């Protein structure tokens, strides 16, 4: 949520930031700073791909198995 707060405050107003954060998400064992950096990089890339503005939706939910592979493919295609 810290990253979302930063991008909402610093990104152009022409980009609407939407968030879909799942409930009861499992604990992830990872370096919080690295996770924040990855999320920030993804958001900056999305911002740069929308010079005329648009809607950026940040979704956080649990996925596993084949669904995880499908989600990764969608992210790579920018969908």
pLDDT of residue 76: 47
Q: What is the mean pLDDT of residues 12-20?
A: 91
Question: Rounded to an integer, what distance in angstroms lies between the CA atom of residue 78 and that of residue 46?
Answer: 8
- The string of pLDDT tens digits covering residues 22-39 is 888 888 888 999 989 988
Q: Which residues contact 7 (CB under 8 A, 6 or more apart)?
A: 17, 40, 43, 47, 56
pLDDT of residue 34: 92
Number of domains forming the structure of the chain: 1
Query: Is the confidence at residue 72, as pLDDT, over 50?
Result: no
Per the DSSP assignment, residues forming a β-bridge with 41 are none
Q: Residue 10 — pLDDT band, cuts 50, 70, 90?
A: very high
Range of the structural domain that residue 40 is part of: 2-77
Question: Rounded to an integer, what distance in angstroms lies between the CA atom of residue 66 and that of residue 64?
Answer: 6
CATH (domain of 54): 3.30.565.10
pLDDT of residue 68: 59
């Amino acid at each position: 949520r810290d990253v979302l707060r930063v991008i909402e405050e610093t990104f152009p107003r022409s980009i609407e930031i939407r968030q879909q954060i799942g409930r009861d998400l499992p604990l992830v064992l990872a370096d919080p700073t690295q996770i924040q950096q990855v999320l920030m990089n993804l958001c900056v890339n999305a911002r740069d791909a929308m010079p005329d503005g648009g809607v950026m939706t940040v979704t956080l939910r649990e996925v596993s198995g084949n669904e995880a592979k499908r989600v990764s493919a969608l992210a790579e295609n920018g969908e």
